């Protein structure tokens, strides 16, 4: 029996198209999300503790993501009925770190046949052949994959980091800048390196409000 080869789209690729049944009805990606950023994330299984903490946290941050023109889509290899029962349990019974009565309203894909999970490389046989790993795909308004994060089954994701990365990418797109290590909104940003000796010299010598250079290749800009 041949071993199944796991493939996944890469950063810069067009995200795979799919139609799927979810807890919010059928969705057609990317058609239904035209002009929006999308965070598609998978979880191993319903009624599991790590996934429960993740869904509660994502749900309480949903309005923050909407303010960033971003929609959330969850996925696991479970039925629509299991999803509904689990989400009702979260709302009715689970209290965690001050979060309670949490209603998950973003769509959760029922992917029993693994069709969507396999398109995105979310099923990795050495981890599990029946569960999706904790994958995160961030897609821009053109449905291009801009970031991919993978976590093992045993460890929950940092939702604040996902939000920070989203804000950083949106700022880079809007202002043609890069962000340094550990960047947070309001921190100084990096001006793209010069492409020639002449522009390098000009960059260092030219004064610009808020700009400062540590060397010819590394100039930053203060944020107001």
Contact between 66 and 165 under an 8 Å Cβ cutoff? The reply is no
CA angle 32, 79, 11 (to 5 degrees): 45
Q: What is the pLDDT of residues 59-76, one digit of tens each?
A: 999 999 999 999 999 998
**Could you write out the three-class secondary structure of 77-103?**
CCCHHHHHHHHHHHHHHCCECCECCCC
pLDDT category at 208 given cuts 50, 70, 90 is confident
**Residue in 141, 143, 140, 144 with CA at minimum distance from that of residue 165:** 140
pLDDT category at 128 given cuts 50, 70, 90 is low
Residue 4, pLDDT above cutoff 80? no
Q: Supply the pLDDT for residue 5.
A: 65
Residue 94 tokens read as: 């689970």
Map tokens 């057609």 to a residue.
Answer: 28
Contact between 151 and 169 under an 8 Å Cβ cutoff? The reply is no
Residue 221, pLDDT above cutoff 80? yes
User: So where are the chain's domains?
Assistant: 18-158, 176-224
pLDDT > 70 fraction of the chain, expressed in percent and rounded: 91
Q: What is the pLDDT of residues 19-51, one digit of tens each?
A: 999 999 999 999 999 999 999 999 989 999 999
Which CATH code for domain 176-224?
Answer: 3.30.1020.10
pTM over 0.85: yes
pLDDT category at 224 given cuts 50, 70, 90 is confident
Q: Supply the pLDDT for residue 131.
A: 74
Is 213 a known active-site residue? Answer: no
The reply to whether 176-224 shares the fold of 18-158 is no
CA angle 182, 15, 126 (to 5 degrees): 75
Q: What are phi and psi of 173, to 5 degrees?
A: -65, -45
**Residue in 10, 19, 40, 3 with CA at minimum distance from that of residue 124:** 3
Residues 6+ apart with CB under 8 A from 146: 11, 138, 139, 140, 169
pLDDT category at 192 given cuts 50, 70, 90 is confident
In angstroms, the CA 13 to CA 41 distance is: 17
Map tokens 């604040």 to a residue.
Answer: 160
Q: Does 134 appear as a known binding residue?
A: yes
DSSP 32: G
Considering the four listed CATH numbers 1.10.10.60, 3.40.30.10, 3.40.109.10, 1.20.120.10, the one that applies to the domain covering 18-158 is 3.40.30.10
Map tokens 């002009």 to a residue.
Answer: 35
């Amino acid at each position: 029996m041949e071993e199944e080869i796991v493939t996944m789209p890469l950063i810069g690729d067009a995200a795979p198209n799919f139609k799927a049944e979810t807890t919010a009805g059928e969705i057609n990606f990317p058609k239904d999300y035209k002009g929006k950023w999308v965070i598609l994330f998978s979880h191993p299984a319903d009624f599991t503790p790590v996934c429960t903490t993740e869904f509660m946290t994502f749900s309480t941050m949903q309005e923050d993501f909407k303010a960033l023109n971003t929609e959330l889509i969850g996925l696991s290899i479970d039925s629509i009925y299991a999803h509904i029962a689990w989400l009702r349990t979260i709302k009715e019974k689970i209290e965690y770190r001050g979060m309670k009565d949490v209603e998950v309203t973003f769509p959760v894909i029922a992917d029993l046949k693994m069709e969507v999970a396999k398109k995105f490389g979310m099923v990795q046989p050495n981890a599990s052949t029946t569960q999706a790993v904790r994958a995160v795909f961030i897609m821009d308004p053109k449905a291009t994959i801009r970031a991919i994060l993978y976590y093992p089954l045993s460890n929950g994701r940092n939702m604040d980091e996902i939000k920070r990365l989203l804000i950083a990418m949106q700022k880079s797109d809007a202002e043609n800048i890069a962000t340094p290590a550990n960047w947070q909104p309001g921190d100084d940003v990096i001006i793209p390196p010069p492409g020639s000796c002449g522009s390098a010299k000009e960059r260092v010598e030219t004064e610009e409000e808020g700009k400062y250079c540590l060397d010819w290749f590394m100039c930053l800009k203060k944020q107001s």
